[in-house]
Chain A
Amino acid sequence: MAAIQASPRLRQRKASLKMRLVPYLFLLPNMAIFGLFTVWPAINGFNISMYSSSNGRTFRWEGAGNYQRILTDEDFWGIVRNTVVYALSFVVLSVVLGVMLAVLVDQQRRGRTFFRSVFFVPVLISPVVAGLVWNWMLERQNGLINTFLRSFGIPEVPWLVDNNLAMVVVIGVGTWMQVGFYMLILLAGLQSIDPSVYEAAKIDGASRWRQFISLTFPLLQPSILVVVVLATIHGFQAFDFIYTLTGGGPVGATTLIVQYIYENGFVSPIRYGVASAGSVLLFCAIFALTIVNWMIGRKREAA
């Protein structure tokens, strides 16, 4: 009698222990890879930035020495300046052009899907190829763009030779590659706005511009916030297309922080400590900006 009573309870307890383990087993493979290749490196990154190495194998303790070195390095501040100029212009252009394209595509009845797809094509193509093609098209003497301009009597533009123009080109190509992605997010935001809110405005005889400013724009703000956050993160990470577009040149005029990290970490002469200190500073910048963006977004929503 006692045995009969005990056995189902025992089985139940056993089963529940197994049941409690099951979700962890499901999580294990993902979290193992995730922990090993993302979480642990993120923590270890701070640690590494306290050491220096010229080959990536033997390390010497530096303490805050790397930070001291990097923060007093004029080249580094030049790279910070380039990165901020790029990221800021990229975010502003992405939002402005993204909203513009999204609104136009949304209002377009005929061929809406076509335009949406076409604007998304540059997002799909390999950034390495994008940089390569634009480099080719912007070639000074024989490039497609200068040839086109010449037919209007405009003299050769030194796109990739002049420091400031090269930065303009990098910003332009970076935006060209990503704006279709942001447009999609904004378009989804636009389409989730209840069309009936426009009815009242139409009855009041508000112009389209007025409707945009006082209705569309405020209702679109959650999507704009998402775009600002993503574009900020994207902007600070830009590297791949620049590698084939300008290579960071002329004379470092378009070298951004990720290229700086890559070159110091992997291209001789290797300065591991400087590279990892740069990575930590980049992480802090992205983290702080993301928080600031969300806080501004929250405040706006509350107001």
Chain B
Amino acid sequence: MSNSTVTESAPEIAPSKTWTSTGRRKVTSTDALRVVILVTSALLALIPIVWLVLGSFKTPAELSKRPPTLLPESWGLSNYTEAMTRFNFPLYLTNSVIVTLGATLLTLAINSMAAYALAKYNFRGKNGLFLLTLATIMIPLQVILLPVYQVVASLGLVNTLWGLIIPAAATPTGVFILRQYMLSIPDELIEAARVDGAGEFRVFVRIVLPMCRPALAVVAILSIMWRWNDFLWPLVVAQSESVYTLPVALARFTAEETVPFNLIIAMSVVTVLPVIILFLFFQRQIVTGIANTGIK
């Protein structure tokens, strides 16, 4: 990985070396300072997560030791197995998975259809609808919490997983990313398919969607990250224990102190790890997705 970055920037380095060759000492000292700051910041970023993972292997007795020990005495998984068997954590985990996957699939389906209309058709109200979609990035759930809850309540969706899945599915960010990507698809391709007699929806599913795979991947990953970590909305809608998601269960049990802390730690690791693993696999898509939407 580091190899490729070196070769990438090699042409820029070559001339700068000749310019700095007279003041080589000075450059190395700033380089050293930079590395020190970067490594310190990296430690600050990672220590809480490492501490959490280490803690998940410690027994209650170890956790209450003064001063705290760094490494666990053994690497047994008893906290994990106990949390999964003695409490309802498998249920919360299942709820989290269902909500995350359900919401993501729904988001992909409806966002891509809307994006296609906004990118490839001309119709009355097109710009207005697009601007409206963008403007709502400024209306986060937090400021419309009560009126949204009223809608969900009047539809009878409180304490259901649908109530967690549907309201957040029409993400403006997803529409935006997909629309930008679809603009780059040549109209001729779509025209050619139409001439061949394919219906509009068929063109969309068979021609357009497969070409949008990179953008769909970005939206999917973002959606998974958002929905998995969502807290305020599930806190409000999932009032009964049977529909708790992992974050809601963790927050409620920590506040009530009804579940031993060693088990809370283990479940926290379960909550954190999937997203980190996903990131390690799809880094490039996530980084470009955020860089692009952030800039435009």
Interface residue ranges, A against B (CB under 8 Å): 19-20, 22-24, 26-27, 29-31, 33-34, 36-42, 44-45, 48, 56, 100-101, 104-105, 107-122, 124-130, 132-134, 136-137, 141-144, 147, 150, 176, 180-181, 184-185, 187-189, 192, 195, 199, 202, 208, 222-223, 226-227, 230, 233, 237, 239-240, 243-244, 247, 258, 261-262, 265-266, 272, 275-276, 279-280, 282-283, 286-287, 290
Please tell me if the beta carbons of A104 and B38 are within 8 angstroms of each other in the complex.
yes
A195 touches B12 (CB 8 A): yes
Complex interface: stretch among B76-84, B117-125, B209-217 = B117-125
Q: In the bound complex, do residue A180 and residue B45 qualify as a contact, i.e. CB atoms below 8 Å apart?
A: yes
B198 within 8 A of A: no
Q: Is B21 an interface residue (CB 8 A)?
A: no
A-B interface, 3 closest residue pairs, ranked by CB to CB distance from nearest: A188-B291, A41-B147, A30-B114
Given contacts A113-B1, A202-B19, A262-B232, contact A37 B290 (CB under 8 A): no
The answer to whether residues A237 and B142 also contact, given A34-B170, A132-B250 and a CB cut-off of 8 A, is yes
A131 → chain B, closest Cβ, in Å?
8
A108 touching B144 in the complex, CB below 8 Å, given contacts A129-B272, A134-B48, A287-B138: no
Q: Across the interface, do B204 and A275 meet the contact criterion of CB distance under 8 Å?
A: no
For B123, the chain A residues whose CB sits under 8 A away are 20, 23-24
User: Are B5 and A113 closer than 8 Å at their CB atoms?
Assistant: yes
In the complex, the answer to whether B295 meets A223 with C-beta atoms within 8 Å is yes
B34 in complex: contacting residue of A31, A107, A136, A286, CB < 8 Å = A107
In whole angstroms, how far apart are the Cα atoms of A128 and B66 in the complex? 26
Using Cβ atoms and an 8 Å threshold, which residues of chain A touch B145? 261-262, 265, 279
- Asked if residues A101 and B142 are in contact (CB atoms below 8 Å), the reply is no
B16 interface residue (CB < 8 Å to A) = yes
Does the CB pair A26–B136 fall under 8 Å?
no
Contacts of A44 in B (CB 8 A): 147, 150
Q: In whole angstroms, what is the CA distance A115 to B123 when docked?
A: 46
Contact of B45 among A100, A176, A258 (CB under 8 A): A176
Say yes or no: A36 contacts B42, CB within 8 Å: no
Given contacts A129-B52, A142-B66, contact A45 B231 (CB under 8 A): no
Q: A119-B41, A142-B68, A226-B295 known; A38 and B136 CB under 8 Å?
A: yes
Residues of A within 8 A of B149 (CB): 56, 265-266
- Known contacts A105-B38, A189-B295; is-contact A279 B146 (Cβ 8 Å): yes
Interface code B1-40, partner A: CB below 8 Å = 1, 0 otherwise?
1100110010011011001000000000010001101100
User: Chain A interface mostly helix, strand, loop or mixed?
Assistant: helix
* B51 at interface by CB-CB < 8 Å: yes
Interface presence of B49 (CB below 8 A): yes
Please give, as numbers and ranges, the residues of chain B lying within 8 Å of A233 by CB-CB distance. Answer: 138, 140
Query: Are A208 and B30 touching (Cβ within 8 A)?
Result: yes
On whether A185 and B295 interact (CB within 8 A), knowing A116-B287, A283-B143, the answer reads: yes
A30 to B106, CA, bound (A): 9
Within the complex, which residue of B45, B68, B153, B290 is in contact with A144, where a contact is CB–CB below 8 Å? B68
B200 → chain A closest CB, angstroms: 5
Measured CA separation A140–B58 after assembly (Å): 20
- Distance from B262 Cβ to chain A, minimum over Cβ atoms (Å): 11
**Cβ-defined partner of A286 (8 Å) among B64, B143, B228, B295:** B143
A27/B113 in contact, CB under 8 A? yes
A130 to B150, CA, bound (A): 30
The residue from A33, A136, A189, A237 contacting B167, defined by CB atoms under 8 A apart = A33
Give the residues in chain A near B133, CB-CB below 8 Å: 34
Q: Are B109 and A29 in contact (CB under 8 A)?
A: yes
